[in-house]
Each structure stands twice: as C-alpha cells, then as structure tokens.
Amino acid sequence: MIEKRASWNEYFMRIAAEVATRSTCDRRHIGAVVVRDKTILSTGYNGSLRRAPHCDDVGHDMENGHCVRTVHAEANAVAQAAKNGVQIDGAEIYVTASPCLTCFKLVANCGIRTVYYKEFYRDERIRGYARQAGVKLVYMGKKAGRKHRPLRLPMGTA
C-alpha cells in the first residue's frame, strides 16, 4: 500500500515535531521550524542557554509555575537564524504549540507572516495581536475532539 504524500504544511510540522525531540526541559517538548519558499531557514527547540546546565540535568528554575531556565523554541529558531545571518523577513514558522505572547511578539517583529501551530498554548491575547500585526495564525491540530478552537482571523484581516 502506498502512503499518501505529505502536504508541505504536514511535512514542516512533522519536522517541527522531530526538532522538539531535542528539547532539554522535560516539562514540555516544543519544536519550531522557520520556512520561506518551501526551504527551511532555521530550527529551534526549548532548552537552556548555550553552555548552561539543562533542566534535564539540574532541575527546573520555577517562577509562578513556569520553568524560566529555558529559552522557547520560537526564540531559539529566531536566534539561530540571527546567529547565522539568515534573513527571516516574510517567512513562516511551524511550531508544535502556539507561541506564548512574548514569543509571538518576537516572531511578528522579525517579519514572520504566518504561524502554523499544532496545539494551543495558554495565551488568548495572541489573537488580537495577530490581527493588529497582520500575522496569520493557522491551527493544524486534530479537528475532532479538540479542546481549543483554532485561532482564526476575521476575513480580510491578514
């Protein structure tokens, strides 16, 4: 039996899921892939600062119920692109969970035009910010039985 060929969106989201396997904080494994013109520009996963101890090795640095030792996947993908001189203006990002508000603002200000995400993570405010910034949010999770509705922009706003 021949398996159906993955769409580009499925392909890049699967790569983001694989990138997430490199995460070094066991509280949540998140992966991100920055893409333009069907070409991968950068990847990132949630983990500690370069050369700093990982949560998996030394435990979590908790603040208000969140581990603050890690840098989020989206921020690491943007940082990796910057470190290597890769322009990401006009790109798209595939993330295994929707960005937190801080990461959303970061990717929007970097010129990323579309955020594809598989599951919703926490902050409903990104809807309004996306509308204001003209960033398209695309839900790619399971349709049946989902806990969160996809982030959709009103017609004609993105």
- 3-state DSSP call for residue 54? coil
Candidates 44, 96, 43, 100; CA nearest to 67 is 100
**Annotation says 10 is catalytic:** no
Which conformational region is residue 59 in: left (phi greater than 0), alpha (psi within -120 to 50 degrees), or beta?
Answer: left
Catalytic residue, from 74, 92, 119, 124: name it: 74
Yes or no: say if 24 and 70 are a contact pair by the CB < 8 Å rule: yes
Helix (H, G, I), strand (E, B) or coil at 15: helix
CB 94 within 8 A of CB 116: yes
Q: Which residues carry out catalysis?
A: 74
